[in-house]
């Protein structure tokens, strides 16, 4: 997509605005200078784009892996997101929560959630298209463990960051390959408020009282970051990308 909205998806924007419904939309972005990003936007109930995010954690590889039935080639077709993790305000109608966005594999990386939480995040929204097979483990479908990992990531990172989180799957079979479900809405305690139960289309709903985030990270609380974090000991997280093993 060269612009958002554009004629191909204008009807989505129009219909959502008629209904007063906001949404998160993921798409393949093509910039004027020819860069391609895996991108998502959050759109308010008035149709305004409130936040935009380009995926930072691209899984897979640049080159196809010989002999693999399935290929995971995000590193081939997209550039790494160049904007980092910029929190933004949700719509007034939603209580104007401080929001973050991630895309798919990003949700497994606690660094990403923390960078948003350090801006006061109260609501994370993310979408995922996660294969039901293990992209690193061969052909075997393993819906159960892949769904477990997806929900575990949402619950734990919501808890660690005392934020609501909405993680939405594109479930079912696409081009003959299975995708996991497991969409969840999670509260700042990491508890599941609503969960999709099938691999079909579903709607899940939960009311989110953003005041509850302060029970986890308000002044003096267990996740009062400024009171308890010790960043002088976290240097490796930014000083090295990979493992520097001990002797």
Scanning residues 131 to 150, which ones bind a copy of itself (CB under 8 A)? Answer: 135-137, 145, 148-149
Name which of 3 and 243 has its Cβ closer to a copy of itself: 243
Residue of the chain from 152, 173, 174, 209 that contacts a copy of itself (CB under 8 A): 152
- Name which of residues 194 to 233 contact a copy of itself (CB under 8 A): 215, 217, 220-233
Judged by CB under 8 A, the number of residues near a copy of itself is 72
Name the residue nearer to a copy of itself (CB basis): 186 or 196: 186
Smallest separation (angstroms) from a copy of itself to the CB of 37: 13
Instruction: Compare residues 198 and 232 and give the one whose CB is closer to a copy of itself.
Output: 232
CA dihedral 245, 59, 135, 163 (to 10 degrees): 90
| Segment 80 to 119, residues that bind a copy of itself, using CB under 8 A | 80-81, 84-85, 87-89, 98, 105, 108-112, 114-115, 117-119
CB 122, min distance to a copy of itself, A = 10
190 close to 158: Cβ distance less than 8 angstroms = yes
Q: Dihedral, CA atoms, 66, 68, 71, 72, nearest 10 degrees?
A: -90
Contacts (Cβ under 8 Å, ≥6 apart) of 247: none
Please select the residue that binds a copy of itself; options are 13, 159, 165, 167, rule is CB under 8 A: 159
Nearer to a copy of itself, 9 or 222 (CB): 222
Give the residue with the Cβ less far from a copy of itself, 16 or 178.
178
Q: Verify binding: residue 34, a copy of itself, rule CB under 8 A.
A: no
């Amino acid at each position: 997509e060269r612009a958002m909205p554009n004629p191909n998806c204008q009807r989505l924007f129009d219909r959502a605005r008629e209904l007063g419904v906001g949404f998160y939309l993921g798409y393949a972005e093509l910039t004027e200078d020819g860069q391609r990003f895996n991108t998502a936007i959050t759109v308010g109930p008035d149709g305004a784009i409130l936040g935009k995010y380009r995926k930072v954690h691209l899984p897979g590889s640049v080159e196809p892996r010989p002999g693999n039935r399935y290929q995971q080639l995000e590193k081939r077709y997209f550039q790494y997101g160049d904007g980092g993790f910029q929190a933004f305000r949700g719509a007034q109608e939603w209580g104007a929560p401080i929001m973050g966005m991630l895309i798919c594999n990003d949700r497994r990386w606690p660094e990403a959630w923390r960078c948003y939480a350090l801006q006061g995040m109260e609501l994370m929204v993310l979408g995922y298209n996660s294969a039901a097979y293990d992209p690193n483990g061969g052909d075997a479908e393993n819906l159960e463990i892949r769904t477990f990992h997806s929900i575990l990531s949402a619950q734990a990172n919501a808890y660690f960051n005392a934020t609501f989180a909405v993680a939405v799957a594109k479930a079912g079979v696409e081009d003959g390959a299975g995708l996991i479900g497991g969409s969840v809405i999670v509260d700042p305690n990491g508890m599941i408020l609503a969960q999709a139960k099938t691999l079909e289309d579903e709607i899940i709903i939960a009311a989110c009282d953003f005041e509850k985030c302060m029970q986890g990270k308000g002044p003096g609380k267990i996740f009062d970051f400024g009171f308890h974090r010790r960043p002088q000991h976290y240097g490796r997280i930014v000083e090295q990308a990979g493992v520097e093993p001990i002797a």
